[in-house]
Homo-oligomer: A and B are copies of this chain.
């Protein structure tokens, strides 16, 4: 029972090849911190930061700040176990609760 806005956020978050790969990397390689993940995926850190933010806002990943052995602050991200069914029925139900602005 996913709400319209919630589903919209998830779909928006998944509508990007980088973000799909980020999720895949975290799922396959396990939790990781942003600088390291940026190196592995091959995109800039600010850009990865942006994408991770969007994924986190959609509730698809979570982050946790930790201190490494040598004192560096590492922000670890990991995938959340989500499950969304996309069918005409679920889409129609979600669309009915969309809080978009119909005002001109």
Contact = CB atoms under 8 A, between A and B. Distances in A.
Interface of A: 4, 7-8, 10-12, 14-15, 17, 20-21, 23-24, 27-28, 42, 79-89, 91-92, 94-96, 98, 100, 102
Contacts of A88: 23, 27, 79-82
B91 A14 contact: yes
A10 B102 CA distance: 24
Contacts of A98: 17, 20-21
A102 B17 CA distance: 11
Contacts of A81: 87-88
8 contacts: A8-B20, A12-B15, A15-B15, A20-B95, A21-B95, A24-B91, A81-B87, A83-B86
